[in-house]
Amino acid sequence: MTRLFPFKTAAVALLALAASGCSVFGLFGDAPADGASQNPSVDTGSPDVPAQTAERVPGQCYAAFLEENYQKAFELCSGSREPEALYNTAWMYGHGRGASQNLAKSRVLMERAALGGHAGAMYETGRMYDSGLGGRQSYRDAILWYQKAAEKREIRAMNALASMYYCGDGTEQDFGRSLLWSLRAADAGSGEGMYNVGRLLEEKKILPGQVAEPDADLWYKRAAEKRYPEAEFLLARRDYQKTRSAASVRRLKQAAADGSPGAAMYLGTLAEKALAGVKKSRSKAAAYCWYSLAAAGGSSEAGEKMKHLASGFSASQLKSVEDNCHIGD
């Protein structure tokens, strides 16, 4: 299963987490849990990190990182113990940019940046413990780091805590606390937080009197206005089921383009049936393209459907299909 509350993919995130259920789907694969420590700590067997030198200027490091000049950024950042530089170096190790990918080093440096007070690093460290990326898995340590990040108003951490309390990962299941963190994220402008409040209301996990506005649909609409993909998908699917209109199809495509694997999966199913404006002659090709987008977003079901459809194409046909996949199709 995957978490009910999806983690919104961010440009600087080290993981791509699928939306819906109560376990983590990691970009680099799941890792088995092997216990949890009482307090977050850097592993004693961590890889060596170059000592800080006077020549390394954090400002230059950050500028090169923003410019996506990763080789230069790595050279400037890797010798500094300044939290922002540690964060940038961890990110580059995690993505293999400017240096060979090394998830263990990425995790160690990310945690050092977190210990230095970097809110984003606290959140990313929580995600690493959450999934086991680069080391051992521990929900309890994940919660501790998410809490620290949330206290610094890191919105992604607020949403992560909402998910942990909803699922009961590393803690007792507590819908009240899930609502609390969802509302805090929503108050900070998070579309994901707004969506999560709507889900809690719709599923009757909380009482209407626990929120000032008890209309789940209103929360979904607010989330969609923030371009939160799963809210866009939910509302677009409802509209399509009622109207079968071209406008609802456009909304489904927008949700898929914004990052909803569910929307891409739904469009793939419609395309396979030659619905939603797809010509029968192109139904399998269009379905393959939508399923590929859903699979890239973490849907294992979409991956299986891709394999099934691929078996019906020759090698040259499949290459042509892949070369001509477009979101707007």
Q: Over pLDDT 70: what percentage of the chain?
A: 81
Over 60: is that where the pLDDT of 157 sits? yes
Look at residue 54 in the predicted model and tell me its pLDDT: 32
pLDDT digits (tens, 9 = 90+) for 123-155: 999 999 999 999 999 999 999 999 999 999 999
For the segment 253-262, the average pLDDT, to the nearest whole number, is 95
Look at residue 22 in the predicted model and tell me its pLDDT: 55
Q: Which of these ranges, 51-65, 83-97, 154-168, 269-283, has the smallest mean pLDDT?
A: 51-65
Q: Over pLDDT 90: what percentage of the chain?
A: 75
Over 90: is that where the pLDDT of 18 sits? no
The two tokens of residue 146 are: 């998410």
Look at residue 277 in the predicted model and tell me its pLDDT: 80
pLDDT digits (tens, 9 = 90+) for 189-212: 999 999 999 999 999 999 989 999
For the segment 207-230, the average pLDDT, to the nearest whole number, is 95
Residues near 172 by beta carbon (within 8 Å), at least 6 away in sequence: none
Distance CA 100, CA 146 (A): 28
Over 90: is that where the pLDDT of 108 sits? yes
For the segment 60-79, the average pLDDT, to the nearest whole number, is 93
The two tokens of residue 103 are: 């998830």
Please say whether the dihedral angle defined by the alpha carbons of residues 198, 199, 202 and 206, taken in this order, is positive or negative.
Answer: negative
Look at residue 26 in the predicted model and tell me its pLDDT: 26
Look at residue 329 in the predicted model and tell me its pLDDT: 52
State the chain's mean pLDDT as an integer.
84
Q: Which of these ranges, 40-44, 87-91, 167-171, 243-247, has the smallest mean pLDDT?
A: 40-44
For the segment 36-47, the average pLDDT, to the nearest whole number, is 35
Band of pLDDT at residue 8, cut at 50, 70 and 90: very low
Q: Which of these ranges, 87-91, 156-160, 250-254, 325-329, has the smallest mean pLDDT?
A: 325-329
Look at residue 276 in the predicted model and tell me its pLDDT: 76
- Residue in this structure with the two tokens 């898929």, named with its chain if needed: 256
Does residue 309 or residue 79 have the better pLDDT?
309
Over 60: is that where the pLDDT of 46 sits? no
Q: Which of these ranges, 1-15, 63-77, 208-222, 254-268, has the smallest mean pLDDT?
A: 1-15
Over 50: is that where the pLDDT of 230 sits? yes
Distance CA 287, CA 290 (A): 5
Look at residue 42 in the predicted model and tell me its pLDDT: 36
Asked whether the beta carbons of 109 and 89 are under 8 A apart, the reply is yes
Look at residue 282 in the predicted model and tell me its pLDDT: 85
